[in-house]
């Protein structure tokens, strides 16, 4: 994934399997490829699948080619970001160049809550806009400070709040 993470994986593999350095590098490269594939599926393909589900279920006035163009741009920008990250992350210290693709996981869960206030009409327009903006932020040449432990804990708390709220909403809708 990144070079620091690759070194950690190399050490773990070497200890577990008593491998030579070359064998460890090959296995670490394979692990990095798996991580990138997981990122592509989780943070690029899944949001696009949700985009098309929203389009199919909405009465949006946006033509279908807008959704297709947004989806293609978003995936290409995300893949570009992941490729660039794998090449340059070790040299960039405590900063990201552009927004990491994983940040979409912080943004997208907010949309259903906004949609509740507007009774389901808003997501057909907001969701493609968010993907478009995030795509640009993935490839924008800006430095973004890597989150500290406190910020990471805040993200975890935010995820717990999302999950609890969704469960409570589901209970309210079913009950």
**pLDDT of 2 over the 50 cut:** no
Q: Whole-prediction pTM value?
A: 0.75
Is the pLDDT higher at 115 or at 158?
158
Q: What is the DSSP string of the chain?
A: --HHHHHHHHHHHHHHH---HHHHHHHHHHHHHHHHHHHHIIIIIHHHHHHHHHHHH---SS-HHHHHHHHHHHHHHHHHHHHHHHHHGGGGTTEEES--GGGHHHHTTHHHHHHHHTTTSSHHHHHHHHHHHHHHHHH---EEEPP-HHHHHHHHHHHHHHHHHHHHHHHHHH-
Average pLDDT over residues 79-97: 75
**pLDDT of 6 over the 70 cut:** no
């Amino acid at each position: 994934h990144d070079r620091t993470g690759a070194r950690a994986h190399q050490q773990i593999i070497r200890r577990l399997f008593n491998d030579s350095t070359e064998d460890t590098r090959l296995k670490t490269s394979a692990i990095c490829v798996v991580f990138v594939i997981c990122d592509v599926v989780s943070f690029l393909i899944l949001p696009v699948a949700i985009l098309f589900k929203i389009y199919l279920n909405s009465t949006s006035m946006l033509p279908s080619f807008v959704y297709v163009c947004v989806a293609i741009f978003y995936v290409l920008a995300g893949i570009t970001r992941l490729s660039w990250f794998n090449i340059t992350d070790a040299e960039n210290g405590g900063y990201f160049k552009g927004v990491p693709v994983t940040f979409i996981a912080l943004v997208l869960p907010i949309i259903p809550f906004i949609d509740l206030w507007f009774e389901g009409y808003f997501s057909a327009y907001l969701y493609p806009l968010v993907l478009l903006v995030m795509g640009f932020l993935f490839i924008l040449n800006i430095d973004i400070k890597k989150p500290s432990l406190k910020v990471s804990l805040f993200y975890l708390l935010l995820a717990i709040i999302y999950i609890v709220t969704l469960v409570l909403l589901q209970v309210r809708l079913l009950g």
